[in-house]
Amino acid sequence: MKFLFNKLAFYGLLIGGVYACSVPEREDPFVGLAAARWDVGKSANFLLSDDRFTNLELEIVYMEGYKPTDYLMDSMVEFLQEITRKPGGIEIIEKEIPAEGKEYYSTQDIGDLEDRYRERYNEGNTVSVFFLVVDGSFMPDEEGFFTIGAAYRNTSMVLFGKRIFENSGGFGRPSRGTLETTTALHELGHLLGLVNVGSEMVTPHEDQGKEYHCDDDSCLMYWAVETDNVLQFTPQTIPELDENCRNDLRANGGR
């Protein structure tokens, strides 16, 4: 009897407590750390439209020796200005962190680095993207291609600086700026929901063999763009988004 009594009293207290705090101070689920732990593409509409966030900030955290080129930073801002609606502006925040000196980084390593170094999260009218540049490589995939970059959470992306240095410069190869910028814009495209990962397809154009990528091999969202296979088809210029990808972004709140 005593046990039952206590249990009932506990439930009563719990319900009273939940009611009391849920009415006056409801937490905003779209800001702070919790809103940066979703899957890739889940913040596409927040990044594209001005419905919830009118400002966008890009926190670029790079390991010593791997500072992105000005060309990359200018191109990212230009790209975002062209396709997103952010009347409050797009801002870049840069920070250098110590090099880890590792040959390879796992998904877990990348997540840990973000936990340690990310300082900016969605707040007020500003949606925030975390962009990490590391001094090593990601494991080659099952087909033997090395990944140059990756989007791994709703507002998180990484570039593997070492692979960019190894694959750029010299005759017949892209400049470092072109290669890293191409990769960065491709990963940003994933965060914006391309292809079929948060921004619904207006016309079906997802690659049959490579999910979340565009079937147009001249498009920025073609799968090979984020692997070292990119060197075989687009050596000197940055591919643009094709019409299908542009339409998906427009339909999800972009311009």
Which residues form the interface with Zn ion (CB under 5 A)?
A: 214, 216, 219, 221, 226, 242, 245
Measuring CA to CA, which residue among 154, 179, 185 is closest to residue 164? 179
Q: How far is CA 206 from the centre of its chain?
A: 19
Select 72 or 151, whichever has its Cβ closest to Zn ion.
151
Q: Can you list the positions of beta strands (E) in the chain? A: 55-63, 89-97, 126-134, 149-153, 156-160
Q: Both tokens of residue 53?
A: 């966030």
Select 135 or 216, whichever has its Cβ closest to Zn ion.
216
Encoded amino acid at 161, one letter:
G
In angstroms, give the least distance from the CB of 51 to Zn ion: 24
Select 80 or 220, whichever has its Cβ closest to Zn ion.
220
Torsion of CA 235, 240, 244, 248, to 10 degrees: 130
What is the C-alpha separation between 195 and 193, in angstroms, rounded?
6
What is the C-alpha separation between 145 and 140, in angstroms, rounded?
5
8 A C-beta contact, residue 31 and residue 57: no
Select 31 or 185, whichever has its Cβ closest to Zn ion.
185
What is the C-alpha separation between 3 and 9, in angstroms, rounded?
10
In angstroms, give the least distance from the CB of 130 to Zn ion: 17
In angstroms, give the least distance from the CB of 54 to Zn ion: 27
Select 59 or 216, whichever has its Cβ closest to Zn ion.
216
- The two counts, helices (H) then strands (E), for the chain are 7, 5
CB-nearest residue to Zn ion:
214
Select 31 or 134, whichever has its Cβ closest to Zn ion.
134
In angstroms, give the least distance from the CB of 150 to Zn ion: 8
DSSP state of 193: T
In angstroms, give the least distance from the CB of 192 to Zn ion: 12
In angstroms, give the least distance from the CB of 213 to Zn ion: 6
